[in-house]
Chain A
Amino acid sequence: MDRCPHPKCSADDNITCWQGHIKLAYCPEWRKVVQTSTTAQPNPDELAVPWSGSALGESDLNFISGKGKPVTVGIVGPESSGKTTVLAAFYLLLGRGNLTSEDSLFSNSYTLAGWEAVANNLRWKPGQQAPHFPPHTTSRAARAPGMLHLAFRRQDGGLRDLLFADAPGEWFQKWSINQQSSEAEGARWIAKHADVTLLIADRQALAGPAKGTARNEFQLLAQRAVAGSQGRRLALVWTKGDVEVAPAMEAQIRKAVGSAAPDVPEFTVSVFKRGQVEAAEGFQKLFSWILETRRPGVQLPTSEVAGHDLLFRYGRR
């Protein structure tokens, strides 16, 4: 298959044209490279769709966000802190029907293949080795992070789209050190667009031999993430919740988040059962908190006025 000359079109990737031409032969851009296709009769049984099912890139996002900006969830944490595991756990629990309620029923997803790729390692497959944690998410060359999509139908009939950013920890580490770093473009995108930020605190790292470094990294990242969230929803998520962490360390982590943004909710998740607490419970609580997200309305300030006339200044800031 030839490549479409349009820089943003992925029509050669077995999905439809980005300008919406169902038959590529009708697209003026496509015809520039494929002269013969105008005469070729496409097989009527073959129908290309405008999405591939994989995680969405920055330009693929237009396909979903054309209707309205989805609630974007940024999972911010250093590498190997369990970000991808949180996503995989969401997907698997959703598949078992453990995350939805009558208030919001699962409706659709345009990235099922992407979800499957994330969760694949956590699936138990007969005859193979036991499920294990997902491998390291590499720092890809693409500028924006891969986005995983879910849509839920609310009780009032409205659809609510959710996007989960599946981004590598390196981005956030570079971003925490230098906000303007050219390698932190993806992290900046998440900080700018995320309606919900999950700040990941890796209990294993905070209890391990390099706990001092892990704490410093977290503090730096937390500072940046809280500043970037600008009053939008932010939660502190303890991953690997089965690992014990010194209370003094826990207090320092809470202080790092709480000093800039008080009343930040906390969630603890683990893929293992913790005492009486089922593994699913932590993820369920976190997910229902995410689903509750509603953007508030705007109270516009009154416009600025010059002069001393009280009538025109009345009621203004």
Chain B
Amino acid sequence: MSSEYLMRFLEIGAIDLKGDDTKLEKLRATAKGLSTVLKKAPAKTVCFTMAAADPGIASDDPTIQAAMTVLRMQWETVSNAYARPPVAILRAILLDAIVLAARSDDAISVAFVNTARNALAQAETSDEEAVWREAVGEIEAKVDARAEEEWATPEMIEVEALQYSPPAAVTASFKPTKVERSSLNTQMHAAAGPWGGTNPNQYQPNHNPQQWSAEFASKMSVAVAQAIDSAVEGLAPTPIDLSKPLTALANAVALHVDNVLASFSTATAGLQRRTNLLWWKEALYSTSAQESYLDLPLYEAASLMALDLHEQVPTYSPASVSSFLKEAIRCLPVDPADANSDKREVAVLVQESRTTAFMQPFRNLAAQYVQAAEGRGPLLSVIGHPQNPGTIDAGQFRALVGIDATARMTPAEWGTYLFRELQSARATNAGVKRSKRK
């Protein structure tokens, strides 16, 4: 499986390695090495993909040079085996390496898919279409599966049962008490007549029956009451400690409520995202610029829409979000008097993005996401680091961003191109804090 794209890519490029396992192994080992490099530094995905997607990439491009260094480690004499630097072979290796890395890393997948969709349309790649279609299709299916999880709106929310096991039955300790018979006997004997021991009844029952019975009742009730009191006192229950089972119950209920709320918010997050998306498209209002897109010049609005939508949606978004942006941009009115409104030169658009005050928030974000351009890389590198605000000449422009300076884009193409670049850049720059714009 791992060599599938490598071999097929080479075959399409009229490079025949059939029956030469030695060479193939060297190329495979290089692809594996580069995929390890990529996994360690996912931010390189964009440059790797852009280099792999352009047959016209210069042989002195830093990415190609880096790949060549890795290939040389495997195959020392590679330079002598080809008329010029074997860019086609390095591109095949790069594609294979990216797919290998993307299979195990979702962030790399997002960056690869978005970048490939941008770059392939700008390069002379029609003969490689079958391989690219398959590679992007495979990785995009993976990205879409993850995006669907984040954007899904389930009809029912499934909640797990409450995780609580009641404590074992508590047995109250009970010790039956007996009436102290000897003291009761003594007191009753004392109540019976003057012959009783301590504190006897001073009356004889036969001489003063009336007084005797009053005294007897008084003494007997005290004696019996004392006996009952002491017996009851012995029956007082030991207090039972319920704090532990009650705390466990409280914790279980709290966890359950948390889980319920989490499932609920997961279910409603997708709904919230969809609602926001619809509101955004229908309102055509930029919350960041606090202005309607309808009041802005067409291409400025397209750039701003890309930026706003990027801030609104998560990294894992279905491919249809780009289509949504495209449709939203197409809703903007075209000025019939403006001859440039349907298509404008990319080089001019980039130059404006580098210099106009309006694009400052875009430049700030781009500068956070990517470093200044050294070789082939995203437009963001050129826009985000306009150290030298002069116009970039056509040759350098092609080398840096892979687009012909004379190429023209519609507002929708321009907006979706920028949006995909922003999505790719954020996916592979998880550590970068997003700017809070006013």
Contacts and interface: CB of A to CB of B under 8 A. Distances in A.
B55 A68 contact: yes
B133 A300 contact: yes
A297 B122 contact: yes
Interface in B265-295: 274
Interface of B is mostly: helix
A22 interface: yes
A310 B355 CA distance: 39
Contact of B120 (A69, A70, A300, A314): A300
Contact of B128 (A156, A298, A302, A312): A298
Contacts of B322: 315
A253 to B, nearest CB: 28
B127 A295 contact: yes
8 contacts: A62-B16, A67-B84, A294-B124, A295-B124, A297-B124, A309-B148, A311-B274, A312-B320
B1 to A, nearest CB: 19
Contacts of B89: 66
Interface stretch (B7-15, B30-38, B340-348): B7-15
Nearest to A157: B395
A106 to B, nearest CB: 16
Nearest to B132: A298
B136 interface: yes
B141 interface: yes
Interface in B378-411: 394-395, 398
Interface of A: 7-8, 16-22, 50-51, 58-59, 61-70, 72, 110, 156-159, 193, 195, 232, 294-303, 305, 309, 311-316
A193 B14 contact: yes
Contact of B121 (A51, A67, A297, A316): A297
Contact of A20 (B77, B122, B126, B319): B77
Given A298-B125, A300-B133, A315 B14 contact: no
Contacts of A61: 14-16
Contact of A315 (B78, B128, B319): B319
B429 interface: no
Contact of A64 (B83, B123, B141): B83
Contacts of B15: 61-62, 65-66
Contacts of A305: 144
A85 to B, nearest CB: 25
Contacts of B123: 297
Contact of A300 (B17, B23, B117, B323): B117
B144 A69 contact: no
A300 B127 contact: no
Nearest to B22: A19
A298 B129 contact: yes
Given A300-B117, A312-B144, A315-B324, 6 more contacts: A17-B77, A61-B15, A298-B120, A298-B121, A315-B320, A315-B327
B323 A302 contact: yes
Interface in B39-95: 55-56, 59, 75, 77-89
B377 interface: no
Interface residues of B, number: 61
Contacts of B318: 311-312
A291 B183 CA distance: 130
Contacts of A50: 80-81, 83
Given A19-B77, A19-B81, A68-B87, A315 B121 contact: no
Contacts of B75: 19-20
A313 B321 CA distance: 10
A303 B319 contact: yes
B80 A16 contact: yes
Nearest to A7: B19
Interface in B170-205: none
Nearest to A59: B16
A297 B88 contact: no
B140 interface: yes
B148 to A, nearest CB: 6
A62 B132 contact: no
A290 B133 CA distance: 27
A27 B141 CA distance: 45
Contacts of B19: 7-8
A232 B126 CA distance: 9
A67 B320 contact: no
A232 B124 CA distance: 13
A298 B119 CA distance: 9
A290 to B, nearest CB: 15
Contacts of B87: 66-68
Nearest to A18: B81
A156 B120 CA distance: 20
B219 interface: no
A101 B87 CA distance: 27
Contacts of A313: 320
A297 B125 contact: yes
A20 B86 contact: no
Interface in B281-332: 318-320, 322-324, 326-327
A297 B324 contact: no
